Amino acid sequence: MNKPTTKTVNISLPTALLHEIDKAAKKEYSSRSDFIRETIVRRLKGQRIVDEWGDEGHWEVISDFTKIHPEGVPIEDILKALDKMTK
């Protein structure tokens, strides 16, 4: 008799995280289990998922616009600030 090659485990996840996993799994994988398994394997191998722009999500803060106005800044103000930084 062959031993099973997989084993079921139970984990607790926040509901919001589970919804995010399900959305990602629906886009890329056939099941929630496949998505979680693939993510764990990548993590154990030290692999990072690269986004569509080719980076791993490590961003440098150049200008914190929340210091100007915490509820939002008009795009014109952002463009002016960026323009000043490049001169």
**17: in domain:** yes
Cα angle 16, 52, 13 (rounded to 5 degrees) comes to 20
Give per-10-residue mean pLDDT for the chain (87 aa): 77 91 83 88 74 59 74 81 81
Inside any domain, residue 4 = no
Domain span including residue 76: 61-87
- In this structure, is residue 26 part of a structural domain? yes
* Six token digits for residue 19: 């919804």
Number of domains making up the chain: 2
41 falls within a domain: yes
Supply the pLDDT for residue 49.
62
65 shares a domain with 42 = no
Q: Are residues 42 and 66 in the same domain?
A: no
pLDDT given for residue 64 in this prediction: 74
In-domain check, residue 22: yes
pTM of the model: 0.48
Q: How far is CA 10 from CA 2, 7, 13, 33, in A?
A: 23, 10, 10, 12
Write down the pLDDT at residue 4.
66
Write the DSSP assignment of 11-68 as a string of letters. Answer: ----HHHHHHHHHHHHHH-S-HHHHHHHHHHHHHTT-----TTS--S----S--GGGT
Predicted local distance difference test score (pLDDT) of residue 51: 57
- Inside any domain, residue 35: yes
pLDDT in the model for residue 39: 84
pLDDT of residue 15: 92
